[in-house]
Amino acid sequence: MKRVVVLISGGGRNLQALLDAGADGRLGAHIVAVVSNRADAYGLERARRAGVPAQVLPHADFPSREAFDAALAELIEGYRPDIVVMAGFMRVVGAAFVRRFLGRMINIHPSLLPRHPGLKTHQKVVEAGDREHGATVHFVTEELDGGPAIIQGQFSVTAQDTPETLAERVMQDVELKIYPQAVAWMARGRIGLRDGRVWSDGRPLAAPRGLDDLETEFR
């Protein structure tokens, strides 16, 4: 079974969905560790409850980004992961770290990338009057929130939506479905990164997969 390390900084709802999918066999992968850069991340508690080793590496303990990245990479490599999953991991990692895990590290971002990289995506959607919103799972490359997309789930924004309702809809209706699915595809070797593109079942993906492509057990 493929080995997965999950990086978190906060509440860990995405982590919980991955733990659940791991426990009931849908993930087809073994979550071998959860690492947080914050000691107060509630996701650590979720990991412990699931019997998964939970580690804290406080970024404030390091003199530079490079020093933190290097320590984080060592900690992660100690678990010999096939897949590194950033699930609400709120630290920007540097080029050396990205290169070390290129092709096996993915992130989830709460917008329809390339629209709205960075923070406060739900507020940006309201301010811009966007009619569509959603979330994207992508390979991590050196460009922040810019790596090739694996799957994107979207929905229509209504006139009643606020940044708060959008945050909940993105999490509940999109993120908690597409992230376990994306990890399951990777665990089965069905998705990979080659020459800067996403490959799926031996072909380059012309466009990211969508909610319609979710397998029944991830809907």
Q: Which of 30, 59, 109, 122 is catalytic?
A: 109
Q: Looking at 26, 109, 116, 138, which residue binds ligand GRF (CB under 6 A)?
A: 109
Query: How far apart (Å, rounded) are the C-alpha atoms in residues 117 and 133?
Result: 13
| Minimum separation from the CB atom of position 91 to ligand GRF (A) | 11
- CA distance linking residue 175 with residue 181, whole number of Å: 10
Query: Binding to ligand GRF by residue 208, rule CB under 6 A?
Result: no
- Under the binding rule (CB under 6 A), the answer on residue 13 touching ligand GRF is yes
Closest residue to ligand GRF, based on beta-carbon distance: 88
CB 54 within 8 A of CB 12: no
**Backbone torsion region of residue 51, taken as left when φ is above 0, otherwise alpha when ψ lies between -120 and 50, otherwise beta:** left
Residue 28 as a binder of ligand GRF (CB under 6 A): the answer is no
The reply on whether position 209 binds ligand GRF by CB under 6 A is no
109 classed as catalytic: yes
- Under the binding rule (CB under 6 A), the answer on residue 2 touching ligand GRF is no
Residue closer to ligand GRF (CB basis): 42 or 79: 42
Binding residues, as ranges, are 65, 107
Q: Is the Cβ of residue 70 or residue 171 nearer to ligand GRF in the bound state?
A: 171
Q: Give dist(CA 96, CA 116) in Å, integer.
A: 25
Question: Residue 83 is encoded by which pair of tokens?
Answer: 């897949």
Angstrom distance (rounded) from CA 108 to CA 151: 10
Site for ligand GRF in 30-59 (CB under 6 A): 43
Alpha-carbon dihedral angle through residues 23, 25, 28, 33, given to the nearest 10 degrees: 0
Helix spans in 40-195 (H): 42-49, 65-77, 95-101, 121-128, 163-169, 176-187
User: How many residues touch ligand GRF (CB under 6 A)?
Assistant: 16
C-alpha span between 54 and 34 (Å, rounded)? 5
In eight-state DSSP terms, residue 10 is: S
Q: Indicate which single residue of 2, 14, 186, 187 sits in contact with ligand GRF (rule: CB under 6 A).
A: 14
Known binding-site residues for (6R)-10-formyltetrahydrofolate equal: 65, 107
CB of 204 to ligand GRF, least distance (A): 25
For position 117 contacting ligand GRF by CB under 6 A, the verdict is no
Q: Which residues bind ligand GRF (CB under 6 A)?
A: 8, 10-15, 43, 87-88, 108-110, 135, 171, 175
Residues involved in catalysis: 109
